[in-house]
Amino acid sequence: MVPALLDLLRSGEVAFHKDAREYHFRRVLIEILHRISCSEVVRAQTQLLFKGVLYLLRHDNEENGVTCCKTLIDLFRTFRTLTQDVASELMSIFQLILSNMRPLVDELLSEESALLDEKALLPSVRSFKVLAEMGIVIVTFSQSPTHRPLLASPIQANIHLNFEVLALESSPQKMARENYEAMGGFWAGMAPTIKNHHAYVDFISAQIKVHIISILWRRFV
């Protein structure tokens, strides 16, 4: 069943709107994969599941991307296996997501940003939500002494991107902060001119997770 489900997901069209029929179909298939990922009966399909879920994480929408991150964690915690190919692809996706954060902040959190359609979905690799979940995945994988060497080199290569994401600040937020600081105050809220409130909350959550990763990664540098 696992190869058949992955083939359906690879050959199907990715949906980026919650009203699309394909969106609901893919959600069901990915949820099935997620629920069986920690079952002993799929041990023989572990590597196929790892690679298939990583493919979906790279190409699907953000809701499915979040589920894929949770599936990766369940697979790793259940079977404690990680190959060089899987580790390399995981870090490649993480690097891509980190690189996409600056333009995403400008697109969603500037004063000129359009109001997001609540039923529209972003690509997984351009999502604050997925970045936050990826933080949990990376931390989980890197805490294993057995598999830590597989991640050491890409972690060292990507850590500068972590700090670039931590330094990101939306233009309205920067303006509000600087105005308060100029008056001797301290700004700790969300700038009133930010339109996409949920996106801002997701962004701050993602920065917190990246900060935690950066602290843990100090052992690698």
Name the domain count of the chain.
1
Which has the minimum average pLDDT: 61-70, 105-114, 137-146? Answer: 137-146
What is the percentage of the chain residues whose pLDDT exceeds 90?
Answer: 71
Q: Which residues, including other chains, have CB under 8 Å from residue 217's CB and lie 6 or more apart?
A: 142, 155, 159, 162
Separation between Cα atoms, residue 37 and residue 75, nearest integer Å: 6
Token duo for residue 24: 């609901």
Separation between Cα atoms, residue 170 and residue 27, nearest integer Å: 32
pLDDT, tens digit (0-9, with 9 covering 90-100), for 136-193: 998 888 888 887 788 878 878 888 899 999 999 999 999 988 888 888 888 788 988 9
CB–CB of 190/197 below 8 Å? yes
DSSP 123: B
* CATH assignment of the domain containing 203: 1.25.10
220 has a pLDDT exceeding 70: no
pLDDT band with cut points at 50, 70 and 90 for residue 221: low
Which residue, among 54, 61, 96, has the nearest Cα to 75 in the 3D structure?
54
What is residue 41's predicted lDDT score, i.e. its pLDDT?
A: 86
110 has a pLDDT exceeding 90: yes
| Range of the structural domain that residue 143 is part of | 2-220
Residue owning tokens 């879920």? 53
